[in-house]
A and B are shown apart, each in its own frame.
Chain A
Amino acid sequence: MMSAQPKADGAILTVDDIVVRYDTPEGPITAVDNVSFKVRPGEFLSVIGPSGCGKSTLFNVIGGLLSHHAGIVNVAGETISGPHQSIGMVFQEESTFPWRTVIDNVAFPLELIGMGRAQRAERARHFINLVGLEGFENRYPGELSGGMRQRVSLARTLASEPKILLMDEPFAALDEQTRLLLGDKVLQIQQQLKQTTLLITHNITEAVQMSDRILVMTYRPGKTKRIVDIDLPRPRTSEIVTSDAFGHYVAQIWNDLREEASRGMKDEEAHVLHHEGPSS
């Protein structure tokens, strides 16, 4: 159920001793402190932690958007130095291009590599169907709901066929029901494509529902608190949330998180008291 070290070798993604420090007006801050882990091909790993634990910073490091760090990120044998073509990112915020239709959004990565028009359209359509948005190819994101737009973003990233799917709280802005159903969709796609997935989240239910393993982070400075193996049967759906085993995992992780989350709250309160406002 619990293991202190990730299982080694055959890993497609290795995160090795990442340290991220930066200067603020109040002094230097360590956002991420010696985080290391490995991800196996086809695995679904979630990184969970309270606000301020540095998980979004970690997301940017692995995605190659943040180079100001110590430590190495290794993808399929190559050390990354900038966004790697084997990693596909899905962001937390609204990230669809409002001036492009759904199909043009999804075809974007294919356009960048110079794929021909007909081939692009066919490939884009495939992934639009995969996320369940067939019929909406020629709509604009402004006409869609938030959940649908996130599906477009997901389809766009999947269209570049990345070896590793890296997602930063993609469902944070959605309501709970939509979140659960979209979680189902992601699971289904992941299982179908055998997609290696790394999910950053603060939602325990979501993490346990979808993951093979969960990495729990501490509050700032973000370290690895624990890595939990989730031994629930696959294929999974959102119905699993009602099972006992599920509840057991959630309670266990909440126990870990509660300490960290309350440390975070106290820290925020102290910050507001001693300075002129919240720290972020």
Chain B
Amino acid sequence: MAETGRLRQTAAPLISPVTLLRLAIVLGVLAAWEFLAHSGWLYRDVVPSLLSIGRALAGLLGSFEFYFNLGVTAAEIAAALAIGGLSGLVVGILLGANRFLSRAFEIYLYYLGPTPKIIFFPVLIMWFGVGPESKVALGTLSCFFPVALSVAAGMRQIDKVLIRVGASFRASALQMVLKIYLPAMRHPIINGFRLGFGFALIGALLAETKLSNKGVGFLIINAYSTFDMPRMYAMLIVLFVLAIGANALIGRLGALDRIERL
């Protein structure tokens, strides 16, 4: 029933080829997994059956113990983000605003950033004890660098004319920071925090696997030491879903203001 004068659009396929391919890949992987699980080639339970993983997952999501430990880890990461993120923000603003400070100190942040922070854990245990505090400390250390470096770079990329506008209206230093620097840097800030979140997450979790009696990391290493593989896989799955989800959420925050396309 073509309408005269209008182009007929071919009906879009119900399921796009991309989705089909994704489905095929996922199903293929699951099938190969299940095959491996029942093949007996690997030591029992190194690759557990999907059913056992599913059961472990269900058990996990229904247990109070899991949510308690998840809460502990989440609190550690929140604290790390707050302390490390805030100090990173302040340091980043200082370094970005002042060329002398930047040329004096930023190089240390730049080269110390990509180093394995987990190796500081023994020292942090000595300073903060065996409890969550040392995990928060490690998370703070991990999250500080990406935030500080991202903010410092962001400060330098602020359109110079905007700073002159603030100066021409005699804005105080605090007003400059709150009303000009921070809003102008919202993208570098969000990206810095995104990276910082990822590193804080890793830092806190790894620390928990090394020495802890609480938290998701502790649960994972616990499952390992009792060779409860289905449970370990289940926890890894939940962890990855949460981490990827949180990362995407933070990323969304950055895309919120699509209006300003200057």
Contact = CB atoms under 8 A, between A and B. Distances in A.
- Indicate if A touches B (C-beta under 8 A): yes
Interface of A: 63-65, 82-83, 85, 87-89, 91, 93-100, 108-109, 111-112, 140-143, 160
A95 B169 contact: no
Contact of B259 (A89, A96, A143): A143
B46 interface: no
Contact of B168 (A83, A98, A111, A140): A83
B163 to A, nearest CB: 10
B260 A141 contact: yes
A141 B169 contact: no
Contacts of A93: 159, 161
A112 B171 contact: yes
Contact of B175 (A95, A96, A100, A112): A112
Interface of B: 159, 161-162, 164-165, 167-172, 175, 179-180, 183-184, 186, 257, 259-262
Contacts of B167: 65, 83
A82 B257 CA distance: 35
B171 A95 contact: no
A112 B170 CA distance: 8
A142 B261 CA distance: 5
Given A94-B161, A95-B162, A83 B262 contact: no
A83 B169 contact: yes
A88 B186 CA distance: 28
A161 to B, nearest CB: 12
A85 B168 CA distance: 9
B92 to A, nearest CB: 19
B165 A94 contact: no
A95 B260 contact: no
A91 B164 contact: yes
A89 B168 contact: yes
A105 B175 CA distance: 14
Interface SS majority for chain A = loop
B109 to A, nearest CB: 27
Given A83-B170, A99-B186, A142 B259 contact: yes
A204 B184 CA distance: 36
20 contacts: A63-B168, A82-B170, A83-B168, A87-B168, A89-B165, A93-B161, A94-B161, A95-B161, A95-B165, A97-B165, A97-B183, A97-B184, A98-B260, A98-B262, A99-B184, A99-B186, A100-B183, A109-B169, A112-B169, A142-B259
Nearest to B175: A112
A97 B178 CA distance: 13
A65 B162 CA distance: 13
Contact of B161 (A63, A83, A91, A160): A91
A85 B260 contact: no
Nearest to B168: A89
Contacts of A141: 260, 262
Contact of B183 (A87, A95, A99, A160): A99
A97 B262 CA distance: 10
Contacts of A111: 179
B172 to A, nearest CB: 8
B257 A99 contact: yes
A139 B259 CA distance: 9
Contacts of A85: 170
Contacts of B161: 91, 93-95
Chain A to chain B: the 7 pairs with minimum beta-carbon distance, closest first: A98-B260, A89-B168, A142-B260, A93-B161, A98-B262, A142-B261, A99-B183
Given A65-B164, A93-B161, A108-B179, A99 B171 contact: no
Contacts of B259: 140, 142-143
Counting chain A CB atoms within 10 Å of each CB, which of B165, B180, B183, B184 scores highest? Answer: B165
B107 to A, nearest CB: 24
Counting chain A CB atoms within 10 Å of each CB, which of B175, B257, B262 scores highest? Answer: B262
Contacts of B172: 112
A112 B168 CA distance: 12
A140 B262 CA distance: 10
Counting chain A CB atoms within 10 Å of each CB, which of B169, B183, B257 scores highest? Answer: B169
Contacts of B165: 89, 91, 95, 97
A83 B169 CA distance: 7
Given A65-B164, A99-B183, A99-B184, A140 B260 contact: yes
Contacts of B260: 98-99, 140-142
Given A111-B179, A143-B259, A97 B162 contact: yes
Contacts of B169: 83, 108-109, 112, 160
B171 to A, nearest CB: 5
A98 B183 CA distance: 9
A93 B159 CA distance: 10
Counting chain A CB atoms within 10 Å of each CB, which of B159, B170, B184, B261 scores highest? Answer: B170
Contacts of A140: 259-260
